[in-house]
Amino acid sequence: MAGVAEEFGRLYGYEPEGVWEAPGRVNLIGEHTDYNDGFVMPFALPHTAVAAFGRRTDTAVRAHSADLPGEPVVVADPAPGASAGWADYVASVVWALRDAGHAVGGVDVHLASTVPTGAGLSSSAALEVVVALALNDLFELGLERQQLASLCQRAENDYVGAPTGIMDQTASACCTAGHALFLDTRDLSQRQVPFDLASLGLRLLVVDTQVKHSHSEGEYGKRRAGCEAGAAELGVSALRDVPFASLPESLDRLSCDEIRGLVRHIVTENHRVERVISLLDAGDVRAIGPVLVEGHASLRDDFRVSCPELDLVVDSAVAAGALGARMTGGGFGGSAIVLVEEPSSDQVAKSVVEAFASHGLTEPRVFTAVPAAGARRVR
Ligand code: ADP
Ligand code: MG
């Protein structure tokens, strides 16, 4: 953190006004539901984007990342269409705040992030949220965290051009240490659900397959459009409104198997989030394992966003005795989560790594995820 402030000084020739930090996230359950007005349950990772800021006297944005080579990128007039590569994730937030009528001047930014990029752990939301929180403080905007998250989503949708839902930004802005965040993406109501695995002798492993599928964005858009088509065929404003109890009749009314699969995933996934919430509330944490495995099968077979590497993590982890596992994030690569008994944790991780080796695949990165704090000012 001190490093980011010092590097800011070297780059820009003056001291930053402050340093802010925002985490990446994993999603425990509730995948692809956040653009269907459904339920999600992410928690924040200890991996964060840390950024130093200083206000400018003009309206430009100057951004530098310690994680990429090159000079600071200057965006003179942030507006959709003016692509500046990675710096879009910074400039877009400035634009979204200004477009919403907030008086935000220019800024210089230097950042460094420990959130792996493109690993399904939301390095993009960490960047957006650290910028939004800093601007909120520096320009005294007085916005709530959920409002900041919604503006970050708008930035990613309308400026960066990624049609993501509201989960990632809300998780980065609103999560608290030791909890998973139950979020209803329709009315944005939230509940912090205690999720302290260590005290129960459990662990949640994150396995980053290091697979990045280049077609993921187009496929994401297709799934989103397919969900909207399904909702239109059923005469509801979003798939959230299809009751689990009437799923068989609803499926009968759909025009094709592809849409049937999408609808079945969203409806059963919302139901799975509710089941996980009930189990956590009842203190029956081990029982969520099979629900995670069911969720993975649904993403693989019905929503069709998994890939062989993610399936291999889940299959090899469960075969090695994990309580449950599933892909997390948008899919087509990225990461999976694995719920394990603490004593068997190393053995399960080893089995997954060996399975990758025996298939001739790049060794996955495995780490233990402990629910961490949401975005904050650090100095
Ligand atoms: P994810 O959010 O799953 O990590 P995305 O494709 O949504 O994947 O976002 C990754 C992009 O965010 C990167 O390609 C880059 O443009 C930007 N990004 C993330 N972290 C950094 C960083 N530390 N420095 C510069 N750009 C970053
Ligand atoms: Mg992202």
Ligand 1 centre to CA of 112 (Å) is 11
Say if residue 179 is in the same domain as residue 273: no
Cα 306 to Cα 196, 311, 332: the distances in Å are 28, 7, 5
Q: Whats the size of the chain, residue-wise?
A: 379
Say if residue 188 is in the same domain as residue 200: no
pTM score over 0.75:
yes
Say if residue 136 is in the same domain as residue 262: no
Residue 2 CB burial class (10 angstroms; 0-12, 13-18, ≥19): exposed
Separation of alpha carbons 274 and 41, rounded Å: 10
Separation of alpha carbons 172 and 43, rounded Å: 8
Query: For residue 217, what pLDDT is reported?
Result: 76
Say if residue 108 is in the same domain as residue 205: no
Say if residue 295 is in the same domain as residue 179: no
The b/e string for 21-43 (b: 16+ C-beta within 10 A; e otherwise) is: bbbbbbbbbbbbbbbbbbbbbbb
In tens digits, what is the pLDDT along the chain, a chain of 379 residues? 559 999 999 999 999 999 999 999 999 999 999 999 999 999 999 999 999 999 999 999 999 999 999 999 999 999 998 889 999 999 999 999 999 999 999 999 999 999 999 899 999 999 999 999 999 999 999 999 999 999 999 999 999 998 889 999 999 999 999 999 999 999 999 999 999 999 999 999 999 999 987 666 789 999 999 999 999 999 999 999 999 999 999 999 999 999 999 999 999 999 999 999 999 999 999 999 999 999 999 999 999 999 999 999 999 999 999 999 999 999 999 999 999 999 999 999 999 999 999 999 999 999 999 999 999 999 9
Neighbours of 376 (CB within 10 A): 12
Query: For residue 215, what pLDDT is reported?
Result: 63
Q: Is the CB of 113 inside a 6 Å radius of any atom of ligand 1?
A: yes
Say if residue 87 is in the same domain as residue 159: yes
Say if residue 181 is in the same domain as residue 316: no
Known binding residue 33? Answer is yes
Q: Is the CB of 216 inside a 6 Å radius of any atom of ligand 1?
A: no
Say if residue 233 is in the same domain as residue 188: no
Q: Tell me, what CATH number does 364's domain have?
A: 3.30.70.890
Query: For residue 214, what pLDDT is reported?
Result: 65
281: its two tokens: 């509330």
Residues 52 and 4 sit within 8 Å (Cβ to Cβ): yes
Q: Which domain holds residue 232?
A: 196-368
Say if residue 183 is in the same domain as residue 241: no
Q: How many distinct structural domains can be found in the chain?
A: 2
Q: Is the CB of 89 inside a 6 Å radius of any atom of ligand 1?
A: yes
Pocket test for ligand 1, best of 26, 67, 88, 124 (most atoms within 8 A of CB): 124
Residue 86 one-letter amino acid: W
Known binding residue 121? Answer is yes
* Sheet strands side by side (includes 324-328): 324-328, 333-341, 202-212, 365-368
Q: How far is CA 63 from the centre of its chain?
A: 23
For residue 113, the ligand closest to its alpha carbon is: 1
At which residue do the structure tokens 């930014």 appear?
109
Neighbours of 9 (CB within 10 A): 14
Say if residue 146 is in the same domain as residue 229: no
Q: Tell me, what CATH number does 43's domain have?
A: 3.30.230.10
Angle, nearest 10°, between helix axes 88-99 and 145-155? 120
Contacts with 155 (C-beta within 8 Å, 6 or more apart), sequence order: 89, 92, 93, 95, 96, 128
Q: Is the CB of 72 inside a 6 Å radius of any atom of ligand 1?
A: no
At which residue do the structure tokens 């953190």 appear?
1
Separation of alpha carbons 93 and 148, rounded Å: 9
Neighbours of 222 (CB within 10 A): 14
Measured by CA distance, the residue closest to atom 6 of ligand 1 is 118
Measured by CA distance, the residue closest to atom 18 of ligand 1 is 124
Closest C-alpha to 21, from 54, 53, 48: 48
Say if residue 149 is in the same domain as residue 209: no
- Look up residue 159 and give its DSSP letter: I
Active site residue 168: yes
Say if residue 185 is in the same domain as residue 203: no
Q: Is the CB of 351 inside a 6 Å radius of any atom of ligand 1?
A: no
Known binding residue 329? Answer is no
Q: Which of 37, 168, 208, 302 is catalytic?
A: 168
Residue 264 one-letter amino acid: R
